């Protein structure tokens, strides 16, 4: 049963990631804005859910499933590599710093928000 919670959540998260990736490419075709947005929103949601101390089944569905299927470290690293390969060093640096910095800030804010909601 646990596998089902994770699988269904991951499918939902992956569809959300796909949609935001398409939107990001339309809004900012030169930079990987969609991936940045996805990872920061995923970090925020992970922080909120962790701060709320949700039960195990709900955690499997929301945190492991949806957040895991939604966020994408592999695309973040690949996007950074492509920017560097194309000698877009400034954009690569800004993208890397923004993703890591905003991701950490989003988790911290999410934890605080989740504890308030709890």
Which residues are CB-contacts of 75 (< 8 A; sequence separation ≥ 6)? 32, 35
Q: What are phi and psi of 102, to 5 degrees?
A: -70, -35
* CA separation, residue 12 to residues 2, 15, 50, 96, 110 (Å): 16, 5, 19, 26, 21
> How does residue 53 score in pLDDT terms, banded at 50, 70 and 90?
confident
Say what the pTM is: 0.93
Work out the pLDDT band at 54, boundaries 50, 70, 90.
confident
How far, rounded to the nearest angstrom, does the alpha carbon of residue 17 sit from its chain's CA centroid?
8
CA angle 53, 59, 60 (to 5 degrees): 160
The answer to whether residue 111 scores a pLDDT higher than 90 is yes
Q: Is 24 annotated as a binding residue?
A: no
> Per-residue pLDDT averaged across 93-107, rounded?
98
71 is in an annotated binding site: yes
Return mean pLDDT, the chain.
96
pLDDT of residue 30: 87
Q: With cut-offs at 50, 70 and 90, classify the pLDDT of residue 118.
A: confident
- Would you state the pLDDT for residue 102? 98
The domain ranges of the chain are 2-117
d(CA 19, CA 3): 24
Q: Tell me the pLDDT tens digit for each residue of 20-41.
A: 999 999 999 889 999 999 999 9
């Amino acid at each position: 049963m646990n596998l089902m919670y994770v699988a269904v959540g991951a499918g939902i998260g992956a569809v959300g990631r796909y949609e935001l990736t398409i939107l990001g490419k339309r809004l900012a075709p030169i930079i990987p804005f969609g991936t940045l947005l996805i990872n920061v929103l995923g970090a925020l949601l992970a922080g909120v859910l962790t701060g709320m101390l949700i039960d195990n089944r709900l955690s499997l569905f929301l945190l492991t499933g949806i957040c895991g299927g939604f966020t994408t470290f592999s695309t973040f690293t690949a996007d950074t590599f492509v920017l560097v390969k194309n000698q877009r060093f400034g954009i690569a640096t800004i993208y890397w710093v923004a993703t890591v910095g905003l991701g950490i800030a989003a988790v911290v804010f999410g934890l605080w928000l989740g504890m308030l909601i709890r």
